[in-house]
């Protein structure tokens, strides 16, 4: 009975009368062969044969690629005929989805996009997605696109041009200059100088300036700014700034996993610091979890035992 119900339903769904005669013959032969084999094998075999095809993919499944995720030859051929904005949009989307060849195409083309693309709503949404990726190479792709959209040249002359605004400008121009410097600094331009410029605002009376200093340092992401960010986490009067410092060290920004692990000892100390308010200590626990992937209770002793159980080679210097 199950086989008859299945065969009847399948025949209706094929809508044979609307198909090309050749297609009808091909499908009919395939269906007939399938049904004859299934009938001969029995209903249990039918279910087993069909199950892998019709089974739903669930959120609990292991990652299952939908395709080979390779930038297609057709897309590559079409790129040169596309406007720069369309190139950037397509390639950043492909980078986010880990298509092989996307980052290489961005690297080849991004300098030519400068002054020719803008962060419209679509591209800006992709940029935000990219810089929140768990893959640093995707974050780099987002930063490169943002640099091009902002018309920035990655050289020391840009640093010189932006320095005064980043140090002394009004809030809007100053914030923009600090962000621009952080981005090009991340790409290797005059990093020590940019770090010094940014840190000159670390104790500014304007909370918004300090916020963007912390964001800038997290995106500059050189070793020398880890300690200032940790100090900011433990001492800044603004809860918002303390939270952003923890997030920049633990998850956002451009620090590598190895760099983030260097913050573990100080975050351990902060979990034990009774002078800190409860919220800041909670952020210290959350930072430890984000950095290590360990799901331990909010208990300083438990975290300390875990850390001291690690081989010395796995502990930051």
Tokens 């009067």 belong to residue: 237
Q: Are 106 and 67 in contact (CB under 8 A)?
A: no
| pLDDT, mean over the chain | 88
**What's the rounded mean pLDDT across residues 186-201?**
98
CA distances from 84 to 100, 148, 201, 243, 297 (A): 20, 11, 36, 37, 49
Closest CA to 209 of 194, 219, 220, 198: 198
220 by Cβ neighbours in 10 Å (0-12 / 13-18 / 19+) ranks as: buried
CATH architecture of 156-314: Alpha Horseshoe (1.25)
Instruction: Give 5 or 280, the one with higher predicted confidence.
Output: 280
- pLDDT at 17 (0 to 100): 46
Q: What is the percentage of the chain residues whose pLDDT exceeds 90?
A: 74
CA distances from 235 to 40, 203, 246 (A): 76, 10, 12
- pLDDT at 63 (0 to 100): 80
Is 313's pLDDT higher than 80?
Answer: no
pTM (global) more than 0.75: yes
**What's the rounded mean pLDDT across residues 51-79?**
80
Q: Could you give the 3-state DSSP secondary structure of residue 67?
A: coil
Q: Are 260 and 249 in contact (CB under 8 A)?
A: yes
Reading phi first (left if > 0) and then psi (alpha if -120 to 50, else beta), residue 260 is in: alpha
Is 266's pLDDT higher than 50?
Answer: yes
Q: pLDDT tier at 288 (50, 70, 90 boundaries)?
A: very high
Q: pLDDT tier at 35 (50, 70, 90 boundaries)?
A: very low
DSSP code for 16: G
Is 225's pLDDT higher than 90?
Answer: yes
Is 41's pLDDT higher than 60?
Answer: no
- pLDDT at 106 (0 to 100): 98
Q: pLDDT tier at 11 (50, 70, 90 boundaries)?
A: very low
Instruction: Give 63 or 97, the one with higher predicted confidence.
Output: 97
């Amino acid at each position: 009975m199950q086989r008859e119900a299945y065969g009847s339903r399948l025949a209706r769904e094929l809508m044979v009368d609307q198909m090309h005669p050749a297609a009808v013959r091909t499908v009919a032969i395939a269906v007939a062969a399938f049904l004859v084999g299934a009938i001969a094998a029995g209903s249990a075999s039918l279910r087993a044969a069909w199950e892998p095809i019709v089974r739903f993919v669930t959120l609990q499944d292991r990652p299952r690629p939908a395709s080979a995720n390779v930038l297609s030859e057709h897309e590559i051929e079409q790129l040169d005929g596309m406007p720069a904005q369309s190139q950037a949009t397509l390639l950043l989307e492909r980078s986010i989805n880990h298509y092989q060849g996307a980052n290489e195409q961005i690297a080849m083309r991004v300098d030519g996009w400068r002054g020719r693309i803008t962060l419209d709503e679509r591209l800006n949404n992709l940029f935000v997605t990219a810089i929140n990726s768990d893959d640093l190479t995707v974050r780099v792709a987002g930063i490169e696109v943002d640099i091009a959209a902002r018309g920035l040249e990655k050289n020391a002359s840009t640093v010189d041009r932006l320095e005064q605004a980043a140090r002394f400008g009004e809030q809007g121009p100053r914030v923009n200059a600090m962000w621009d410097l952080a981005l090009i600094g991340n790409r290797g331009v005059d990093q020590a100088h940019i770090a010094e410029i940014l840190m000159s605002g670390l104790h500014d009376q304007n909370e918004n300036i300090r916020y963007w200093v912390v964001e800038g340092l997290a995106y500059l992401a050189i070793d020398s700014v880890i300690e200032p960010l940790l100090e900011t986490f433990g001492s800044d009067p603004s809860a918002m700034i303390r939270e952003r410092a923890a997030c920049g060290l633990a998850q956002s920004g451009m620090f590598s996993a190895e760099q983030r692990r260097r913050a573990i000892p100080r975050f351990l100390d902060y979990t034990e610091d009774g002078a800190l308010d409860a919220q800041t200590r909670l952020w210290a626990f959350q930072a430890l979890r984000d950095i290590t992937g360990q799901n331990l209770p909010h208990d300083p002793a438990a975290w300390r035992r875990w850390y001291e159980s690690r081989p010395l080679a796995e502990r930051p210097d």
